[in-house]
């Protein structure tokens, strides 16, 4: 019998220290070069694992990561806690209320980006040589899994890239995230069913029906009754003065553990339960943007790096590397997801120029593809070479996303924010103390560029959007915006609040600078470029200094004009 000793605890602490130090340090270097930290996290595990250190210095590798069962179990447990909460954090990013507003286009794109990649991946997977299969008798289930894995996109990676290019909160960004939300949810449902069919292959047809019914039942119950219950519970706790964000964080963990245990007991993997718990929490209007960011940062700062580093510690990537298989899986994954999103965007009648951006955003496999592959590996559905091919394909698709997206966006004509700011459209000292009050006050500055009826409809549209999500971009900046029919050119207003306004910003800070954009429905390029230009210009310290120093509207308009003419 194996017992936990003080030596085990000491070595565990040393392992966590080394892994966190290297993954976080290298991850920040990768992040500064617009590359996903995931690459660094997996790379650290590969270097310290059997692939590099195990070959070059086996004695050192054996000392740091011995084959002792207790020692391995300690690190394995922490890493699996990491992936469970990674699924919780991923679910938090999914907002079906926004997806519902975009339901026509988002649903068409999502369904197309599931069906087409699955169709493209199924036949090659079905024809793979027997040496890549665990069991040739399970070839059909294996092909179904590979087809499913090729459909799941890395929603967090795409969200980060859209945020870096300042278009995450634009209509195009919302459409992309809505389609990805539906894609991820349906992809996980299909994967859960495929995995259940594999694990229950030797059981009765009744047990398979339990898995199918359980998967659908958990989704329906959690996203209807569960969503209302979580909103009510969180609202009650907040009204009674329970401390935040600790209370919401604890509630999210409890909900994840409950649904994880429930799904595991039903024969569905616990990961699916945590994913659904994240969606339920993300749908709660009682959960602030600051709390969402806190949960995400906790997961990605500690648990996720340990999980992905641990993958490299367990698997010899060199021994299981097959160049042909890697190229096949990578090309099918990228091409399938791109083609699926492109055809979906075409069917949804999205403008041609936007189709490319939407399709590119769907191409990365990233964390989610690696997670489903690892789960399949540990349940005996795929072999180590197939896992390595999927992991490297997921990394490759994530690495090229930034440069590819930059190339697609730079073809759009730049705009100058100052060209759309009139001296009469700025407010040096906003009087309103609420989001809607500020929007109404700024709309009054539009003058004859917006009629009374147009102002009323714009106010209603912006109120609806703010109820769905906050348009605050952090660092004291908010950009409420809407596109309307019948407008000839964009109308832009600006207001400054010295005291600050609670705008539910991601960083929790009050908003001091508000740009309000109303643009024609058929000028998506200009609308998108305005949002990006404002975000870029307000990151410049000299622009903020000129705005802060202005004493009246005339000086404020001059500071804005000068700051954004050079932005």
Residue-level pLDDT at 524: 66
DSSP structure class, residue 451? -
pLDDT digits (tens, 9 = 90+) for 288-334: 777 788 888 888 888 888 988 999 998 999 999 999 999 999 999 99
Q: What domains appear along the chain, each with residue ranges and CATH number?
A: 73-409 (1.20.1530.20), 417-565 (3.40.930.10)
Is the sign of the CA dihedral 523, 524, 525, 530 positive or negative? positive
Distance CA 177, CA 153 (A): 11
* Distance separating alpha carbons of residues 520 and 458, to the nearest angstrom: 12
Average pLDDT of the residues in 546-556? 85
Supply 375's token pair.
């789960």
CA separation for the pair 361, 404 (Å, rounded): 9
Calpha distance 142→127 (Å, rounded): 11
Under DSSP, the state recorded for 440 is H
**pTM, to two decimals:** 0.80
The per-residue pLDDT for range 69-105, each reduced to its tens digit, is 888 888 888 888 888 888 888 888 776 666 556 556 7
From residue 373, give the alpha-carbon distance in Å to each of 191, 307, 367, 390: 10, 14, 10, 7
Q: What is the CA radius of gyration of the chain?
A: 25
Band (552; pLDDT cuts 50, 70, 90): confident
Q: Are 309 and 23 in contact (CB under 8 A)?
A: yes
Instruction: Return mean pLDDT, the chain.
Output: 84
Distance CA 500, CA 434 (A): 10
Q: Are 124 and 141 in contact (CB under 8 A)?
A: no
In this prediction, residue 207 has a pLDDT band, given cuts at 50, 70 and 90, of low
Nearest to 269 by CA among 206, 188, 148: 188
| 546 C-beta neighbours (distance < 10 Å), count | 18
Average the pLDDT over 494-507 and give the result.
Answer: 87
* 341 and 358 Cβ atoms separated by less than 8 Å: yes
Q: DSSP letter at 400?
A: T
Q: pLDDT by residue (tens digit) across 35-45?
A: 778 888 889 99
Residue 97: its pLDDT value, please? 62
Cis amide leading into 22 (omega within 30): no
Q: Which residue has the higher pLDDT, 214 or 321?
A: 321
Q: What sign has the CA pseudo-torsion 343, 344, 348, 354?
A: negative
pLDDT of residue 84: 85
* Whether pLDDT at 567 is above 70: no
Distance CA 308, CA 90 (A): 16
Q: Which of 311, 343, 390, 392 is nearest to 75 (CA)?
A: 311
Angle between helix axes 246-265 and 227-239 (nearest 10 degrees) is 150
Percent of all residues in the chain with a pLDDT value above 70, rounded to a whole number: 94
Q: Convert the pLDDT of each residue in 261-271 to its tens digit.
A: 888 877 777 88
């Amino acid at each position: 019998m194996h017992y936990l000793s003080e030596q085990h605890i000491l070595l565990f602490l040393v392992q966590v220290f080394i892994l966190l130090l290297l993954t976080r340090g290298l991850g920040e270097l990768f992040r500064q070069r617009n590359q996903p930290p995931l690459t660094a996290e997996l790379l650290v595990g590969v270097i310290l694992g059997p692939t590099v250190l195990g070959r070059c210095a086996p004695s050192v590798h054996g000392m740091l990561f011995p084959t002792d069962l207790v020692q391995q179990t300690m690190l394995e447990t922490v890493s699996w806690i990491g992936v469970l909460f990674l699924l919780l954090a991923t679910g938090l990013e999914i907002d079906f209320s926004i997806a519902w507003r975009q339901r026509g286009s988002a649903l068409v794109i999502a369904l197309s980006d599931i069906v087409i990649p699955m169709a493209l991946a199924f036949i090659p997977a079905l024809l793979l040589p027997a040496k890549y299969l665990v069991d040739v008798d399970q070839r059909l289930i294996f092909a179904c899994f590979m087809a499913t894995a090729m459909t799941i996109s890395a929603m967090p990676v795409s969200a980060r890239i859209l945020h870096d290019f300042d278009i995450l909160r634009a209509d195009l960004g919302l459409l992309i995230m809505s389609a990805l939300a539906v894609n991820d949810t349906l992809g996980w449902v299909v994967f859960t069913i495929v995995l259940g069919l594999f694990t229950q292959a030797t059981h009765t047809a009744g047990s398979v029906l339990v898995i199918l019914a359980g998967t659908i039942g958990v989704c329906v119950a959690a996203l209807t009754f569960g969503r209302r219950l979580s909103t009510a519970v969180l609202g009650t706790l907040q009204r009674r003065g329970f401390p935040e964000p600790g209370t919401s964080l604890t509630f999210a963990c409890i909900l994840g553990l409950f649904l994880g245990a429930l799904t595991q007991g039903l024969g569905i993997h616990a990961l699916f339960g945590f994913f659904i718990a994240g969606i339920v929490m993300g749908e709660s209007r009682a959960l602030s943007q600051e709390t969402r960011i806190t949960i995400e940062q906790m997961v990605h700062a500690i648990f996720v790096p340990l999980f992905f580093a641990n993958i490299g510690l367990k698997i010899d990537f060199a021994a299981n590397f097959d160049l042909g298989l890697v190229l096949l899986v990578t090309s099918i994954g990228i091409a399938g997801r791109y083609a699926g999103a492109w055809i979906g965007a075409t069917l949804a009648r999205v403008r041609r120029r936007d189709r490319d951006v939407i399709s590119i955003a769907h191409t990365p496999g990233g964390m989610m593809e690696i997670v489903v592959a690892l789960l399949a590996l540990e349940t005996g559905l795929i072999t180590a070479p197939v896992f390595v091919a999927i992991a490297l394909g997921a990394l490759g698709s994530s690495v090229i996303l930034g440069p590819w997206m930059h190339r697609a966006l730079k073809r759009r004509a730049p705009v100058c924010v100052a060209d759309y700011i009139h001296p009469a459209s700025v407010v040096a000292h906003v009087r309103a103390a609420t989001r809607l009050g500020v929007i109404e006050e700024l709309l009054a500055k539009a003058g004859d560029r917006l009629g009374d009826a147009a102002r009323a409809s714009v106010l209603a549209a912006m109120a609806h959007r703010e109820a769905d999500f906050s348009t605050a971009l952090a660092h004291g900046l908010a950009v409420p915006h809407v596109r309307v029919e019948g407008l000839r050119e964009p109308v832009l207003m600006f207001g400054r609040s010295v005291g600050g306004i609670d705008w539910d910003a991601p960083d929790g800070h009050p908003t001091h600078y508000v740009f309000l954009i109303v643009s024609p429905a058929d000028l998506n390029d200009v609308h998108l470029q305005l949002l990006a230009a404002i975000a870029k210009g307000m990151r410049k310290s000299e622009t903020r200094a000129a705005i802060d120093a202005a004493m009246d509207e005339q000086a404020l308009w001059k500071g804005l004009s000068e700051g954004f003419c050079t932005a």
